[in-house]
Amino acid sequence: MSIGHTLLGLLESGPRHGYDLKRAFDEKFGHDRPLHYGQVYSTMSRLLKHGLVEVDGIEAGGGPERKRYAITDAGITDVERWLATPEKPEEYLQSTLYTKVVLALLTHRDAADILDTQRSEHLRSMRILTDRKRKGDLADQLICDHALFHLEADLRWLELTAARLDKLREAVSR
Amino acid sequence: MNARPSPTTALPEALRAAPLNSKWSRDLAMGIRFAFTGGREGWIRMLLTAVGVGMGVALLLLTTAIPSALAVRHDRDEARLDYTYGPKRAKAANTLLISDSDTMYHGDAVRGRLVEPEGPRAPLAPGLSAYPAPGDMVVSAALKDLLGSAEGKVLRERLPYRITGTIGESGLVGARELAYYAGAKNLAPHIDGYHTARISKFGHPDGTTSSNSMDPVLILLILVVFAVLLMPVVVFIATAVRFGGERRDRRLAALRLVGADSRMTRRIAAGEALAGALVGLAFGTVFFLIARQLSGAIQVVGISVFPSYLNPSPALAALVAVTVPAAAVLVTLFALRGVVIEPLGVVRTAKPTRRRLWWRLLLPVGGLAALAPMIGQGRENGDFNPYLVIGGVLLLLVGVTTLLPWIVEAVVARLGRGGIAWQLAVRRLQLSSGSAARMVNGIAVAVAGAIAMQMLFAGIQGDYTKRTAQDTSRVQLQVNLSQGIDFLPAAAKFSATKGVRKVTALGSTELGDTNWRSGPHETVSLTVGTCQSLREMARLTSCRDGDAFVASGGGRDGSVTNLVRPGRTLHMDTINGTGRGGDAPWTVPAHLKPATAITGPNGLSDSSVLLTPAAVPERMSPLLRGAVYLSMDESTPDADEYVRNTAARIDPVADTIVWSATERSKQFDSIRTGTFAGAICVLALIGASLLVSQLEQLRERRKLLSSLVAFGTRRRTLSLSVLWQTAVPIALGLLLASTVGLTLGAVLLKMVGVTLGVDWASVLSLTGAGAAVVLTVTALSLPPLVRMMRPEGLRTE
Amino acid sequence: MTAPTGSLLTAEKLRKAYGPTVALDGAEFSIHPGEVVAVMGPSGSGKSTLLHCLAGIVPPDSGSIVYDGRELAGMSDAERSALRRSEFGFVFQFGQLVPELTCVENVALPLRLNGTSRKQAEKAALGWMERLEVDDLGGKRPGEVSGGQGQRVAVARALVTGPRVVFADEPTGALDSLNGERVMELLTDAARSANAAVVLVTHEARVAAYSDREIVVRDGRSRDMERAI
């Protein structure tokens, strides 16, 4: 998943200090793998270079963690594009998708849209697999089925999430 | 899914708790509990069963009450009997003069009595507290209503007395009976041992009651009527306890899943049926009480009763109370014998063993065999064994219910080609011909029995109907006046009555060869009338008042030749009149003009002596009995009633007789109408149950119906298939019913020794009624069918 | 949205309520000849109602449905029934085969509704049953065949009239995956070779994977995923 886009998304709700960003990230997405400060700074400087964020102010006392970042219009567009782009269907992609959904909820975007787009992308893969299966031999069929079942599992998670969006919105905005 | 208390949780505990020997009561009780705790669906099913059983029970109770009702009627009628044929007695403190002034009004009989108590201890008629004064009358409630209504206007003219009271229930035989007692004066001279008499008490003169002994043929008829009406009721009750069977089976499967064995489930099912039957008994009692209350306002073929008459005999009522629930249990067990309830569902034994014909034929054949020995016994020595009669009739009728499933199966299996509606119906019937036949059984039995009945009535009626010699195109009404009433002026009054076209008034008596005290050996009749009237009796060459004729060439010609010789003294009839035993001699005049007898207005053509009024000696007039023959303008409404009014003015006790081509025995009419009405009631009852099972079946197929509509099936097609599905088994049922009915009818006719004749009208009307039931049921199931065909049925819940 | 060119069946701004329950609230749809479109969405979202409206089984409260240049809303019930008989085919989840009729009679039923003689109808029916590999079940009744076989019989029945649109509502809902996929393969193959469009209502992704594209229905609104991307 893209830490850059995630941090950008977190900035959309208002300018934040570096340590604020880390804390917000850990709280919402970090769970078992908290972000290192180093990751935050390197990411932020890359985003600064691309003009997606700007420095909003520096608190007295210096130190990189005292910098306050704000998202630029280009940054917002970038987040938008990222959210709208479905992930390539692959195993264990939930964490990215989850991030996207939560960010969408945080930024008051349509989270269901993200899921629909993803479903469509999954289905596209599944169609290709199904088609291959129909034309292939038994070995092909078995291989394709394996992939299909994994993709289906993703989609089940997706449907479940879609059905629980309202609850999730409540949880993340608390 | 509604959250109904699950039967499954209650079960294992119950399984452990019950000792083996009480498993029947335990399982039945559990079934009863399920019947009551089955949620809304369960309640509806139970209500249907209960109403069905209730209607049957009410009918049974009514039937058991009929014998007692008839007995009460008979007793009441005996108690108020005024025996006018008794010996002449002298006026005393305990005598009453009573005169029979019965009349008819708009086809209903009116019981009328003129009364004149002669002393303080004159017997009081039942239902009266005191006799009305002359010119007053005491009436029954029904007559009071009639006289007060617009419909009774014409009758009011006939009964011009002041109403001073009503007759109590004990003086009437039915709530709708029309009756009155009118106070009169000077009845004594009218005593004739026929219409008018002096009596000292009411009731049978010797204190006994008549045994009301009936014709053996009538008893046979009544036995058969009961058998015929009760059979379908029993069949119907059997059907009613099976309402909602499919749902119940599913619940039983759930019970099997938690460990009930198949015998237990059967007993539990029987318990559920028992619950319906018990509630049905309660319903039936209520229905019966309602019907009993209503019975006071109803009059069937001229007979009404008081609600208090309808008391079921306790033994029979107890029999009903025991038999109905027991039958419910047995029927359920019997119905489940072809069903295997498995834990995961219900399996109808896949291929039901092909129905065998031989034992099914055994029943009707046995019935015929039971009836056969009694063939040809006729009325004279007709001592029909009631057990054999009932047994034979029942076997034949039960034979319908056993034969029908076989016939339906055999015929339906051969039905093929046809439109889609036909195909759908036939295929459905092929799969479940048994349940189709079961639905129709009741109708078939009812129709078969009723056809046999009607045939018997039609056949016997020919016998019981007196062929009258009267020519109804010549005379439509005859008024018989009391002896001594001068009939000649009466003729003028009738001529002036509305609707009368022609009046022939004749007086008559008999002439004997000796004094009537010792009894004449030979008699000849004497008729008195104007020349015009006498020409109705004989061809006269010329006639003037004062002439006397002897008409010959008709019946009794020999007596005329023997007795009517000029100068011979003959003796007038003084026995049947008020001659009080004295002799009334009459000398045959010297110059009798010859005449030729023709058929008179009374239908007889006898040779006789004819006198014009001036030729009648003074002494003779009071001995003549006048009869007025009327030719009517039948287009005048109420003409008969006006004639009766005129007759009542001239002579309150005059008899007015309406002639018709054939005169029916009333008793038969009422039995016949009764059977027909009963058959219609039973058909309606069965129609209701058909409708219920039809709807249940449709509800189960809701999804299928919706999907058929989705791919474009016309509603008409589906409706038609529903019609065929009902019509085919019913057509077969009616066909079989007609065959069995006609056979049974023929056998019964043979038994009473009457020539065979098929009453096609009643066969047609009864099968027509059966067909009407089919159409009605189909018509009534169409709206729900259309509702179920809506696409909403496709939605998954 | 305007009807895309070449569209066989198009619906716009469909609205349908059952009492207070709004089933469709501005749904759109379009399908081309020979196309298989999956209608997906959570249960209660209005998928089945959309199918029922498109097939002319249920008239929508408002909105337009154009089939082959004809507006369905303007048709009488009889006309819509006739359309369903001749132009459309149907496969449902279960409970659609008449239990009393044999399988071949069930398949022949739509043809007979159109007035084809019994003999011809059953001959055509057997041909389709052969294609769906159930021709050996001809004389059996639906109660005597397995769920998968029954569903193939239902597919044969849906295709027997040579419909231009087949409506399938959860056609594999009651089947295991192997049977379900076989039914889907046979259905889509047969439909494509006959150039019939298939409207496939399903909540199963692996069933939807047999479609060319999908439409998602949520809260009575539809979303055409191909157009959205």
Structure confidence by residue, pLDDT tens digits, A118-128: 888 889 999 99
CB pairs under 8 A between A and C: 52
What average pLDDT does the segment B671-683 reach?
70
A positions 41-100 inside 8 Å of C (CB): none
Distance between CA atoms of B430 and B797, rounded to whole angstroms? 32
What average pLDDT does the segment B752-766 reach?
75
Structure confidence by residue, pLDDT tens digits, B219-253: 666 667 667 766 776 776 676 666 666 667 767 77
Contact list, C209 vs chain A (CB under 8 Å): 123, 126-127, 129-130, 148
Nearest CA in chain B to C89: B711
pLDDT at residue C10 in the model = 92
- Among positive and negative, which fits the CA dihedral C84, C89, C94, C100? positive
Strands (E), B521-580: 523-528, 538-539, 548-552, 569-572
CATH label, A1-84, candidates 1.10.630.10, 1.10.10.10, 3.40.50.300, 3.40.50.2300: 1.10.10.10
Asked if C21 contacts C61 with a C-beta cutoff of 8 angstroms, the reply is no
Contact list, C46 vs chain B (CB under 8 Å): none
Neighbours of chain C (3+ CB pairs under 8 A): A, B
Contact list, C40 vs chain A (CB under 8 Å): 119
Structure confidence by residue, pLDDT tens digits, B147-165: 998 888 888 888 889 999 9
Asked if B223 contacts B389 with a C-beta cutoff of 8 angstroms, the reply is yes
Structure confidence by residue, pLDDT tens digits, C60-91: 899 999 998 889 888 888 888 888 888 898 88
Count of residues making up chain B: 797
What average pLDDT does the segment B311-316 reach?
80
Interchain proximity C185–A129, CB inside 8 Å: no
- How buried is residue C49: exposed, middle or buried, by Cβ count under 10 Å (0-12/13-18/19+)? buried
* Helix axis angle, B216-240 to B262-295, nearest 10°: 130
What average pLDDT does the segment B708-726 reach?
84
Nearest CA in chain C to A164: C42
Please tell me if residue C89 touches chain B, with a CB cutoff of 8 Å.
yes
The C-alpha of A19 sits at a distance from chain C's nearest C-alpha, in angstroms, of 37
Asked if B183 contacts B116 with a C-beta cutoff of 8 angstroms, the reply is yes
- C90 pairs with which residues across the strands? C167
Interchain proximity C90–B420, CB inside 8 Å: no
The C-alpha of B416 sits at a distance from chain C's nearest C-alpha, in angstroms, of 11
- Total tally of structural domains belonging to chain C: 1
Interchain proximity C229–A117, CB inside 8 Å: yes
pLDDT at residue C37 in the model = 94
The C-alpha of C219 sits at a distance from chain A's nearest C-alpha, in angstroms, of 11
Distance between CA atoms of B87 and C18, rounded to whole angstroms? 90
Asked if B377 contacts B384 with a C-beta cutoff of 8 angstroms, the reply is yes
pLDDT band at residue B56 under the 50/70/90 scheme = confident
Question: pLDDT exceeding 70 applies to what percent of chain B?
Answer: 79
Residue C2 located in a structural domain: no
Using DSSP's 3-state secondary structure scheme, residue B666 falls into helix
pLDDT at residue B499 in the model = 83
Q: Do chains A and C touch (3 or more CB pairs under 8 A)?
A: yes
pLDDT at residue B182 in the model = 92
Structure confidence by residue, pLDDT tens digits, B607-655: 889 999 888 888 788 888 888 888 888 777 788 888 888 888 888 878 7
pLDDT at residue B120 in the model = 85
Confidence check: pLDDT of B449 > 90: no
Top mean pLDDT of A97-106, B779-788, C121-130 is at C121-130
Looking only at the bridges linking them, the beta strands covering B593-597 and B548-552 are parallel
Confidence check: pLDDT of C229 > 50: no
Residue C1 located in a structural domain: no
Contact list, A126 vs chain C (CB under 8 Å): 205-206, 208-209
Confidence check: pLDDT of C31 > 90: yes
Q: Which of B349-363, B761-775, C208-222 has the lowest mean pLDDT?
A: B349-363
Instruction: Write down the domain spans for chain B.
Output: 1-79+212-350, 82-199, 355-465+664-797, 477-661
pLDDT at residue B672 in the model = 66
Residues whose CB falls within 8 Å of the CB of residue B69, separated by 6 or more in sequence, listed in order: B305, B309, B310, B311
What average pLDDT does the segment A102-106 reach?
86
pLDDT at residue C127 in the model = 92
Strands (E), A3-159: 16-17, 53-58, 67-71
Structure confidence by residue, pLDDT tens digits, B166-180: 998 888 888 888 899
Strands (E), B618-681: 625-632, 655-658, 662-663
Instruction: Calculate the alpha carbon distances from B649 to B117, B138, B490 in Å.
Output: 22, 19, 10
Chain C residues interacting with chain A (CB cutoff of 8 angstroms): 38, 40, 42, 185, 203-206, 208-212, 214, 216, 218, 223, 225-226, 228-229
pLDDT at residue B7 in the model = 45
Nearest CA in chain C to B701: C95
What's CA B395's distance to the chain center, in Å?
Answer: 24
Question: pLDDT exceeding 90 applies to what percent of chain B?
Answer: 3
Asked if B531 contacts B563 with a C-beta cutoff of 8 angstroms, the reply is no
pLDDT band at residue B466 under the 50/70/90 scheme = very low
Contact list, C83 vs chain B (CB under 8 Å): 712
Distance between CA atoms of C221 and B485, rounded to whole angstroms? 103
What average pLDDT does the segment A132-152 reach?
87
Structure confidence by residue, pLDDT tens digits, A24-75: 888 877 766 788 888 888 888 888 888 888 888 777 665 555 788 899 999 8
Please tell me if residue C155 touches chain B, with a CB cutoff of 8 Å.
no
Neighbours of chain B (3+ CB pairs under 8 A): C
Interchain proximity B795–C48, CB inside 8 Å: yes
Residues whose CB falls within 8 Å of the CB of residue B612, separated by 6 or more in sequence, listed in order: B528, B529, B530, B531, B534, B543, B544, B545, B546, B547, B548
Confidence check: pLDDT of B88 > 50: yes
Interchain proximity C55–B420, CB inside 8 Å: no
Rounded to the nearest 10 degrees, how much is the dihedral formed by the CA atoms of C187, C189, C191, C197? 100
Nearest CA in chain A to C38: A123
Instruction: Calculate the alpha carbon distances from A116 to A110, A111, A126, B266, C216 in Å.
Output: 10, 9, 15, 55, 8
- How buried is residue A169: exposed, middle or buried, by Cβ count under 10 Å (0-12/13-18/19+)? middle
Instruction: Write down the domain spans for chain A.
Output: 1-84, 86-174
Question: pLDDT exceeding 90 applies to what percent of chain C?
Answer: 25
Interchain proximity C109–B791, CB inside 8 Å: no
The C-alpha of B454 sits at a distance from chain C's nearest C-alpha, in angstroms, of 40
Chain B residues interacting with chain C (CB cutoff of 8 angstroms): 417, 420, 423-424, 427-428, 430-431, 703-704, 707-714, 717, 791-792, 794-796
Confidence check: pLDDT of B209 > 60: no
Confidence check: pLDDT of B89 > 80: no
Residue C164 located in a structural domain: yes
Q: Which of A158-162, B567-571, B785-789, C23-27 has the lowest mean pLDDT?
A: B785-789
Interchain proximity B711–C112, CB inside 8 Å: no
pLDDT at residue B63 in the model = 73
- Among positive and negative, which fits the CA dihedral A32, A37, A40, A42? negative
For an interface test with C, which of A87, A113, A120, A138 has the most C Cβ atoms less than 10 Å from its Cβ?
A120
Tokens matching residue A91: 């195993």
Domain that residue C45 falls in: 9-228
Considering only the beta carbons, identify the residue of A112, A117, A123 that sits closest to C208: A123
Structure confidence by residue, pLDDT tens digits, C32-58: 998 999 998 888 888 888 998 898 888
Residues whose CB falls within 8 Å of the CB of residue B409, separated by 6 or more in sequence, listed in order: B355, B433, B434, B437
User: What integer best gives the mean pLDDT of chain B?
Assistant: 78
ipTM: 0.79
CATH number at residue C178: 3.40.50.300
pLDDT at residue B663 in the model = 41
